[in-house]
């Protein structure tokens, strides 16, 4: 396993170097493979409700609708069932991780990661049926397991030595119910993030991103107040820095699922979301096959159709699928009810979700919502990069305690999906369990000037020009930088194989608002509806 992975990485690295050297031809191959990966079938979706107060309007509306980011299904009939397995993200295979790849001699300055929590128990239950039987306590004798699982459990037992922003100190640090509670992280979810963390640990090891004696300021961890995000973040962190020193860790709380900190107020954002939800509603009720499927399912269960719809059955069915449990059944009743929910019904709901994705992209309302929803997070991301870049300037005295070089935000699908959309990654698959988005900041080696141009006579010393700054964006280990809005048109064939940081900065500070016909967050948020 280990060996395969490092082979893959060497291969990947060689390929990257080849790209840098050979240029055009290699690029063609690479972009072909990127395109291919983008076509890989994706996954179904379940929304989670943002429970937070400022988004209450949104929360209510969301109860009736789904939000997802999906690729267009291509030509032949897609297999909705195998797509669903992709969403489960069952940790039973090695995958490529392109994090940490760069041209030789480039220096990695910072990494900012946003994750979606791992596999969880459903948030809804299907009326009249038994809830899926899943044990949420952790045990190495259960599958899937991980070599770090036991030491992780032990380490979490010392969590009181860490610093917790209120109200996080009262959130359990491990899932620990023999019958999972609604929304609880499962062992699969813990293992997914131990794995993710370990993957990045290996990817960044040789870049010395975090020194072994890292200071509290160098590591920033933030999470929403849900146990599944907090626990996912801790599992990721443990995989990334095994046996990390609790006393140096502060875990910060984000009260909004949008990670918008103190800049959450944005009336226009909520208007776009409401419009998007109306679109989604109209689109759904126009789907007669879907409506018929809900009627059939409700008849089987002996409940009202609207009762079934409100129970969002896809959420629970996905859990059955991911945990290899057969779909729920009810005994035969006298009113024609009885029987089991079927894969065929599941596939219809899934098919409609994919169609909805296509319609959503076409209408563009979600994109507008996403731009406003994710600006505060992107603005913070950009600001951190600038700060680290500044500190890296030649001749600067390093600040005591260092700079924030690693950031982890442990979030939800309703965070990751708008982030993808805001970045212009609208074709990306909907965030599966334990999905990850990574922002890397790179600096090229310093250039010595004055050697190339020989200035005759003037006895000058050659001047060293500081290296330039670049950004990479990765989604689930894939380099998607050149699919983003801000680097899609960058000419990689030139001397710059990476995307300049300034593209990202100008996107975040101004360009992204062109989607909503504005030049700033404030203007876009507070403009009167017209």
Ligand X SMILES: *[C@@H]1O[C@H](CO)[C@@H](O)[C@H](O)[C@H]1NC(C)=O
Known catalytic residues are 117, 413
Stretch that binds ligand X, among 67-75, 88-96, 299-307, 392-400 (CB under 6 A): 88-96
Q: Which position among 150, 326, 517, 519 is part of the footprint of ligand X (CB under 6 A)?
A: 517
376 binds ligand X (CB under 6 A): yes
Q: Exposed (0-12), middle (13-18) or buried (19+): which is 25, by Cβ within 10 Å? A: exposed
Q: How far is the CB of 37 from ligand X (least distance, A)?
A: 17
Sequence-ordered alpha helix ranges (H) in 241-329 = 267-285, 288-301, 305-310, 313-322
Cβ nearer to ligand X, comparing 93 with 362: 93
379 binds ligand X (CB under 6 A): yes
Sequence-ordered alpha helix ranges (H) in 71-148 = 80-88
The neighbouring-strand residues paired with 329 are: 340
Q: What residues contact residue 478 under an 8 Å CB cut-off, 6+ apart?
A: 34, 37, 98
Cβ nearer to ligand X, comparing 480 with 516: 516
Q: How far is the CB of 145 from ligand X (least distance, A)?
A: 15
311 binds ligand X (CB under 6 A): no
Q: Which position among 45, 111, 113, 174 is part of the footprint of ligand X (CB under 6 A)?
A: 174
430, 43 contact by CB (below 8 A): yes
Q: Which position among 20, 27, 263, 329 is part of the footprint of ligand X (CB under 6 A)?
A: 263
Three-state DSSP string of 143-202: CCCCCCHHHHHHHHCCHHHCEECCCHHHCCCCCCCCCCCCCCECHHHHHHHHHHHHHHHH
Cβ nearer to ligand X, comparing 55 with 296: 55
Q: Which residues from 181-210 bind ligand X, rule CB under 6 A?
A: none
Q: Which residues from 391-420 bind ligand X, rule CB under 6 A?
A: none
521 binds ligand X (CB under 6 A): yes
336 binds ligand X (CB under 6 A): no
Q: Which position among 383, 448, 514, 519 is part of the footprint of ligand X (CB under 6 A)?
A: 383
Cα 522 from Cα 257, distance rounded (Å): 20
Q: Which residues from 98-127 bind ligand X, rule CB under 6 A?
A: none
Cβ nearer to ligand X, comparing 85 with 255: 85
Q: Which position among 63, 157, 401, 446 is part of the footprint of ligand X (CB under 6 A)?
A: 157
Q: Which position among 23, 30, 81, 85 is part of the footprint of ligand X (CB under 6 A)?
A: 85
Phi, psi of 504 (to 5 degrees): -65, -45
Give the total of residues touching ligand X (CB under 6 A): 13
Q: Which position among 90, 300, 415, 503 is part of the footprint of ligand X (CB under 6 A)?
A: 90
List b or e across 372-397, with b for residues whose CB sees 16 or more CB atoms inside 10 angstroms: bbbbbbbbbbbebbeebbebbeeeee
Tokens of 502: 């300034």
- Report CA dihedral (142, 147, 149, 155) to the nearest 10 degrees: 160
Cβ nearer to ligand X, comparing 404 with 479: 404
Q: How far is the CB of 521 from ligand X (least distance, A)?
A: 5
**Dihedral (CA of 49, 52, 53, 55) sign:** negative
Q: How far is the CB of 518 from ligand X (least distance, A)?
A: 7
Q: How far is the CB of 383 from ligand X (least distance, A)?
A: 4
The neighbouring-strand residues paired with 472 are: 440
The neighbouring-strand residues paired with 440 are: 111, 472
Stretch that binds ligand X, among 31-39, 51-59, 90-98, 102-110 (CB under 6 A): 90-98
**How many CB atoms are closer than 10 A to CB 317?**
27
Stretch that binds ligand X, among 84-92, 108-116, 214-222, 399-407 (CB under 6 A): 84-92
Stretch that binds ligand X, among 49-57, 89-97, 422-430, 451-459 (CB under 6 A): 89-97
Q: How far is the CB of 523 from ligand X (least distance, A)?
A: 8
Q: How far is the CB of 132 from ligand X (least distance, A)?
A: 15
31 binds ligand X (CB under 6 A): no
92 binds ligand X (CB under 6 A): yes
Stretch that binds ligand X, among 140-148, 328-336, 375-383, 430-438 (CB under 6 A): 375-383
Cβ nearer to ligand X, comparing 84 with 308: 84
Write out the DSSP string of 307-336: HHHHT-HHHHHHHHHHTTPPPPEE---TTS
For 507, the enclosing helix (H) or strand (E) is helix 501-509
Q: How far is the CB of 416 from ligand X (least distance, A)?
A: 20
Cα 14 from Cα 104, distance rounded (Å): 11
How far apart, in Å, are the Cα atoms of 367 and each of 42, 89, 310, 371? 19, 26, 26, 6
Question: Of 428, 476, 504, which is closest to residue 35 (Cα–Cα)?
Answer: 428
Q: How far is the CB of 26 from ligand X (least distance, A)?
A: 29
Q: How far is the CB of 41 from ligand X (least distance, A)?
A: 12
- Strand ranges (E), 405-505: 406-411, 436-443, 447-449, 463-465, 469-475, 478-479, 499-500
Tokens 């946003």 locate to: 114
Stretch that binds ligand X, among 85-93, 232-240, 343-351, 393-401 (CB under 6 A): 85-93
Q: What residues contact residue 118 under an 8 Å CB cut-off, 6+ apart?
A: 89, 185, 186, 188, 189, 190, 191, 192, 193, 228, 232, 235, 433, 434
Stretch that binds ligand X, among 16-24, 206-214, 376-384, 439-447 (CB under 6 A): 376-384
150 binds ligand X (CB under 6 A): no
DSSP-based three-state secondary structure for 14: helix
93 binds ligand X (CB under 6 A): yes
Residues that bind ligand X (CB under 6 A): 85, 90, 92-93, 157, 174, 176, 263, 376, 379, 383, 517, 521
């Amino acid at each position: 396993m280990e060996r395969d992975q490092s082979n893959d990485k060497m291969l990947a690295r060689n390929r990257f170097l080849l790209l840098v050297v050979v240029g055009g031809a290699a690029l063609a191959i690479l972009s072909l493979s990127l395109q291919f990966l983008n076509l890989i079938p994706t996954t179904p979706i379940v929304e989670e409700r943002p429970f937070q107060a400022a988004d209450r309007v949104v929360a209510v509306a969301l109860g009736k609708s789904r939000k997802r980011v999906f690729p267009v299904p291509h030509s032949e009939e897609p297999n909705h069932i195998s797509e669903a397995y992709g969403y489960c993200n069952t940790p039973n295979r090695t995958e490529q991780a392109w994090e940490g790849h760069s041209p030789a001699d480039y220096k990695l300055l910072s990494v900012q990661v946003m994750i979606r929590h791992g596999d969880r128990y459903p948030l809804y239950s299907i009326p009249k049926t038994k809830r899926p039987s899943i044990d949420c306590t952790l045990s190495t004798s259960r599958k899937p397991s991980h070599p770090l699982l036991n030491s992780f459990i032990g380490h979490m037992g010392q969590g009181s030595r860490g610093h917790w922003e209120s109200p996080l100190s009262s959130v359990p640090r491990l899932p620990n119910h023999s019958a999972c509670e609604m929304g609880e992280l499962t062992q699969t979810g813990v293992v997914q993030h131990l794995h993710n963390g370990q993957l990045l640990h290996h990817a960044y090891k040789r870049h010395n991103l975090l020194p072994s004696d890292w200071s509290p300021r160098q590591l920033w961890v933030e999470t929403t107040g849900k146990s599944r995000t907090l626990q996912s973040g801790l599992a990721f962190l443990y995989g990334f820095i095994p046996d990390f020193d609790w006393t140096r860790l502060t875990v910060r709380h984000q009260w909004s699922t949008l990670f918008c900190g103190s800049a959450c107020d944005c009336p226009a954002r909520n208007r776009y979301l409401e419009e998007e939800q109306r679109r989604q509603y109209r689109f759904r009720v126009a789907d007669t096959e879907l409506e018929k499927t809900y009627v059939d399912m409700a008849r089987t269960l002996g409940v009202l159709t609207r009762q079934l719809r409100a129970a969002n059955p896809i959420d629970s069915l996905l859990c059955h699928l991911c945990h290899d449990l057969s779909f729920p059944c009810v005994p035969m009743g006298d009113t024609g009810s009885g029987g089991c929910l079927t894969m065929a019904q599941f596939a219809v709901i899934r098919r409609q979700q994919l169609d909805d994705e296509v319609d959503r992209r076409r209408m563009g309302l979600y994109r507008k919502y996403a731009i406003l929803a994710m600006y505060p997070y992107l603005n913070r991301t950009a600001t951190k990069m600038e700060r680290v870049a500044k500190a890296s300037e030649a001749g600067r005295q390093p600040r005591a305690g260092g700079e924030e070089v690693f950031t982890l935000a442990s979030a939800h699908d309703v965070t990751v999906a708008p982030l993808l959309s805001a970045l212009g990654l609208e074709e990306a698959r909907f965030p599966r369990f334990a999905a990850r988005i990574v922002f890397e900041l790179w600096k090229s080696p310093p250039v010595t000037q004055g050697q190339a141009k020989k200035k005759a006579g003037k006895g000058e010393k050659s001047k060293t020009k500081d290296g330039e700054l670049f950004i990479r964006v990765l989604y689930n280990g894939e380099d998607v930088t050149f699919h983003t809005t801000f680097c899609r048109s960058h000419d990689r064939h030139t001397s710059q194989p990476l995307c300049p940081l300034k593209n990202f900065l100008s996107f975040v500070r101004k360009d992204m608002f062109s989607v909503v016909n504005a030049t700033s967050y404030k203007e876009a948020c507070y403009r009167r509806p017209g």
